[in-house]
Amino acid sequence: MPITEILERNAKLYGDEVALVELNPEEKPPKKIWKDFSLIESTPYKPYRLEMTWQEFDDKANRFANALTNLGLGKGNKVAILLMNCLEWLPIYFGILKAGAIAVPLNFRYTAEEIKYCLELSDTMALIFGPEFIGRIETIYDQIPKVKILFYAGEGRPTFAESYDRLTANCCSEAPDVVINDEDDAAIYFSSGTTGFPKAILHTHHSLMSACRTEMEHHKQTRGDNFLCIPPLYHTGAKMHWFGSLLSGSKAVLLRGIKPEWILRTVSEERITIVWLLVPWAQDILDAIESGEVNLKDYDLSCWRLMHIGAQPVPPSLIRRWKQYFPNHLYDTNYGLSESSGPGCVHLGIENIHKVGAIGIPGYGWEAKIVNEHGAAAKQGEVGELAVKGPGVMKCYYKDTKATEAVLKGDWLLTGDMARMDEDGFIYLVDRKKDVIISGGENIYPVQIEDFLRTHDAIKDAAVIGLPDDRLGEIAAAIIELKPGRTCTQEDIDNFCLALPRYKRPKKIIFDNIPRNPTGKIEKPRLREKYGVVELVAKETGR
């Protein structure tokens, strides 16, 4: 069953019920943006709350689908989305799918050159973008000849784009007469780019539908649930977790902001039951509680039943802290990658909190194994590469046969993550294959050191990278971000690390902020570029 049929079912059964809420708690002054090669003041962000019913959702998707088909865009054509999270995002996505076209979500942090690269790689023929991206699109719109039409969603339309609102206003709200099959291509997602230029990942309707079933099976969504979605919708993680709400016909809130106060207030006022957090946001909430910045007594959090985390390794110390303040929460860790249609190919399971530290067991409908460098099954407890097999594995890397063959081995997908499996079948993520540091012949896995460092009460975040060394080949360098108002010295960290085996102790300590991408992953290429060439000088800091 194509995923578009689930939306149509919800519109018929629950048409008058609220499907989506967009919430913006922030008020910002205007800023200068480029429009038609001139600097103007943008409309400031102001607090607001918007709603959309399931019927409105389906109607909007149908109107955009009909607008696309009227323009000759349908089966096999690619339509890119470059929008911040907003109420229109998902109807636009489903409109593309209903037209039989292929949705191409783009990272809102992409530079103009990265946008151009992804549009060219994916053979995109149409792009819909919002006001935040006028300047970037303005610099490249005449350099992307494959893109035949630009749609603009928002006020202050630039002259080089068509108005999305005007285009769809008079279109039919009935679904277009387009036959969609499970094996039809549905979406191209781009890898996070933490190891270089992003690859274009092609998924079918069958793959997207499998993500709905996996999510709902793991987190037991019912129509009474209300999911708080904070991460960007362009990424598989946010959208595939929301797919559980789609399949169960339940409500979701799109929160435009990550401040602890906003998250807790939204949970309280909107009666949220499920929240998916990234590690930094969970840490910020705990830090805000412990510093007195927020008081849990000010919020009614009685409806909140489940907190789950994904997109990166989760420090066990974080969950221990979380349970101190939220002892009644169910908890789950979700592991996945864009090549496996997002989260869920491995998950901890809400019944397995005693195994915190593991990423878990194979998800619903999935298989997993650890393989050595020869592709053979690794022994129990031995570190090897994690491979997964299931209904959500990508079709291919679009237009990249060599890269596809490197990771697809029959029905198995090589994840690029190093892991081990314990005697109970639980999988522990060790590190990215490309992040492993080989120092004096020893394999050092940065995640293990990072987890250890984060147990220090003054450390907010940590990243460990390998740097060139004439004698050892590579050495481990720890970049450490301190909690606000805390102080620490290199000697303090060196003494703390005496609890580690000698070969795992970082040889260099740097105090700095840790850059993370919108899905919470540490941007280690940026750190390697920043620190890999010049001689490092460990600095004491009183930040």
CATH value at residue 447: 3.30.300.30
The Cα–Cα gap between 244 and 165 comes to 29
pLDDT in tens, 323-350: 999 999 999 999 888 999 878 899 999 9
Mean pLDDT in residue range 32-51 = 68
Number of Cβ within a 10 Å radius of residue 246: 28
Domain boundary (116, 151, 180) is at 180
DSSP label at residue 44: P
Judged by average pLDDT, the poorest of 4-18, 171-185, 525-539 is 525-539
The Cα–Cα gap between 231 and 20 comes to 15
Whether residues 249 and 395 share a domain: the answer is yes
38-41 and 412-421 strand pairing: unpaired
Whether the CB-CB separation of 56 and 21 falls below 8 Å is answered with: no
Closest CA to 541 of 474, 434, 459, 476: 459
Whether residues 467 and 416 share a domain: the answer is no
Whether residues 405 and 484 share a domain: the answer is no
pTM of the model: 0.82
pLDDT in tens, 227-277: 999 989 998 888 999 999 999 999 999 999 999 999 999 999 999 999 999
CATH number at residue 375: 3.40.50.12780
The Cα–Cα gap between 264 and 262 comes to 6
Domain assignment present for residue 493? The answer is yes
Domain assignment present for residue 214? The answer is no
The amino acid that residue 263 corresponds to is I
Domain assignment present for residue 193? The answer is no
Whether residues 404 and 314 share a domain: the answer is yes
Whether residues 385 and 449 share a domain: the answer is no
Whether residues 265 and 296 share a domain: the answer is yes
Domain assignment present for residue 517? The answer is yes
Q: In degrees, to the nearest 5, what angle opens at C-alpha 14 toward C-alphas 204 and 238?
A: 40
Q: How would residue 169 be classed by pLDDT, with cut points 50, 70 and 90?
A: very high
Domain assignment present for residue 245? The answer is yes
The Cα–Cα gap between 265 and 380 comes to 45
Q: Number of structural domains, the chain? A: 3
Whether residues 477 and 428 share a domain: the answer is no
pLDDT in tens, 89-140: 999 999 999 999 999 999 888 889 889 999 999 999 999 999 999 999 999 9
Whether residues 375 and 450 share a domain: the answer is no
Amino acid 438: pLDDT:
72
Phi/psi region, residue 182 (left: phi>0; alpha: psi -120 to 50; beta: rest), is alpha
361-362 and 396-397 strand pairing: unpaired
Domain assignment present for residue 9? The answer is yes
Closest CA to 234 of 372, 363, 118: 118
- With 70 as the cut, is the pLDDT of residue 313 above it? no
Whether residues 154 and 242 share a domain: the answer is no
- Based on C-alpha coordinates, what's the Rg of the chain? 23
Whether residues 174 and 230 share a domain: the answer is no
Judged by average pLDDT, the poorest of 196-200, 213-217, 408-412 is 196-200
Query: What are phi and psi for residue 376, nearest 5 degrees?
Result: -85, 155
The Cα–Cα gap between 61 and 175 comes to 8
Whether residues 89 and 176 share a domain: the answer is yes
Domain boundary (432, 448, 482) is at 432
The Cα–Cα gap between 473 and 470 comes to 6
Q: In degrees, to the nearest 5, what angle opens at C-alpha 395 toward C-alphas 390 and 399?
A: 155
Q: For residue 46, what are the domain limits?
A: 4-180
- With 80 as the cut, is the pLDDT of residue 359 above it? yes
Whether the CB-CB separation of 241 and 228 falls below 8 Å is answered with: no
Return the structure tokens found at 231. Answer: 């991460």
Domain assignment present for residue 540? The answer is no
Whether residues 460 and 505 share a domain: the answer is yes
Domain boundary (432, 456, 478) is at 432
